[in-house]
Chains A and B, each alone.
Chain A
Amino acid sequence: MSKRADAAPTAALGALLVEALRVTYRLPGGRGGTVPALRGISLTLPPNRILGLLGPNGAGKTTLIQTLLGFVKPSAGTVQIFGAAAGSRAARARLGYLPELPLFYPYLTGRELLDFNGRLFGLAPRVRRARAADLLERVGLTPAADRRLAAYSRGMLQRIGLAQALINNPDLVILDEPTSGLDPLGRLEVRRLISDLKTDGKTILFSSHELSEVELVCDQVAILSAGRLLRHGNPTDWQQPGESLEQLFVREIQADRAGNAA
């Protein structure tokens, strides 16, 4: 299967290296009930790629992202980010993260939010100011930079969220549904931004339900279903002639479910 294709040789250089990862949630109540959210995932992402993380609801996308960030501890297996353990300080210093719901401080202005996040990375004031101005420009928020976040629209919050994810000039950018809540123009801008990040040499991993969008920017996709990795690699390798990513996705998931039922 093609998910094996780029595993071995680049493993040492991988921006992201996931090996036999299992995550089992314990259900609250203490009766010993468990939910297997990830059941043995292995995947390698070489630097400077854009990986789209796909899967139906409940497939384990958010769980995988939260494990990469160190919020969720694996029940088995390992996760390494540029050779450092997930959740370690070294790993976090090279990460940028946009949560699925952009939740920020209503009393801060956009510029202040960026400055605050820059301070958390220990950036000097001059660097913070310059980066904040640059990022605000890139996400199109310069005119609203000094307005409180409480007055931002959903799309503006999404964009300031993207900007804060980039304040430390991260090598690996993890975005949970970066285009949700954006109008078509906003989506286009975000796609451009993601492509620019790749040009800058960064590695990007993002989850999305917008397959047409994924098709436009990603050079790899990973399809999760019920905690297992169905496919990982370049979708053109498995697409039948004239088949869209969406059609491929539906075909894969249905085949998997039929296989599980049999």
Chain B
Amino acid sequence: MRAAGAIACQVWRELYRRKDIYVLFILLGALLLTLVSGDIFGVAGAGRYVLEAGLLLAWAFSLILLIATTARQLPTEEERGTIYPLLAKPLTRAEYLLGKWFGCWAAIWAATALFYLLSAGVVWGQGGAVGLPELLQAFLLHGLLLAWLGAATLALSTRCSTAATMALAWIGLAVSGLVAPAVPTVVAQAPAVSRELLLALYYALPHAALFDLRVRAVHQWGAAPAGAIALTAAYGLCWTLFFLLLAWLGYRRKRFKPTT
């Protein structure tokens, strides 16, 4: 486990030096301040819509960061050949994968926290109100989505190049977040056979939309029942474990092309 920690720290160090996160943070701040200073929504509704815009951007940025960061971890080590000295150390492949996944997830979730804080801060600064319990719940489930999506991306990257992994992860996320929720309405009109198939697919896919509590947070609908949150969190955890297992199966016996 200590070795996995070392791998995770390595991911953080790289992210810290790449500066992608700062750039997005500054971009977010600039966009929100433009919204506020332009007073586009009129004084009364401003807080709510600034928060909505902030959370939308926080989602977009966190997904971009997570998929891009995770997708390049394994392929880059193989291309650079740094995988060889690593595997000569007393480090199991499971620890290596775990370190990579945790490093990416923890860093991007922490960045997400900054994005949330900035959004809420701008709203507060304008004298608007933010429902803290809703915001915390939204942040928690957001983190769980990042956990399983990161694990899925890592699993893809055990067998695909960085570019292919990124493409597949985005397609998977679009299916999970946009297509899957539409299935029940489509099912009603579908012929019997494909109905079964569609429903099977519907239940078999992880549902990204479940983890998105932005609307509750923006409109301050109050905290969701703790049981529902816990259940969703457990659901996210199960998918995380499943994808991590998949990553391990894909990587366990992988051979690397010889460098010499």
Contacts and interface: CB of A to CB of B under 8 A. Distances in A.
Interface of A: 62, 66, 69-71, 89, 92-93, 95, 97-101, 103-105, 107-108, 112, 116-117, 119-122, 161, 164-165, 168, 176
Given A119-B2, A119-B5, A122-B2, A105 B88 contact: no
Q: Report whether over half of chain A's contact residues are helix, strand or loop; otherwise say mixed.
A: mixed
B84 A99 contact: yes
Contacts of B81: 99, 101, 103
A20 to B, nearest CB: 23
B17 A164 contact: no
B6 A100 contact: no
Q: Which 8 A-B pairs have the closest CB atoms?
A: A119-B6, A103-B81, A97-B88, A120-B89, A92-B90, A93-B90, A107-B17, A62-B260
A103 B13 contact: no
B85 A108 contact: no
Interface of B: 2-3, 5-6, 9-10, 13-14, 17-18, 80-82, 84-92, 256, 258-260
Given A71-B256, A92-B89, A119 B80 contact: no
A250 B18 CA distance: 51
Q: Per DSSP, are chain B's interface residues mostly helix, strand or loop, or mixed?
A: helix
Contacts of B2: 119, 122
A18 B13 CA distance: 40
A97 B87 CA distance: 10
A104 B82 contact: yes
| Residue of B14, B87, B88, B91 with highest tally of chain A CB at under 10 A | B88
Contact of A103 (B9, B82, B89, B91): B82
22 contacts: A66-B258, A69-B84, A69-B87, A70-B88, A71-B256, A89-B92, A92-B88, A99-B81, A101-B81, A101-B259, A101-B260, A103-B80, A103-B259, A105-B80, A107-B17, A116-B6, A117-B85, A119-B9, A120-B90, A122-B2, A122-B90, A176-B260
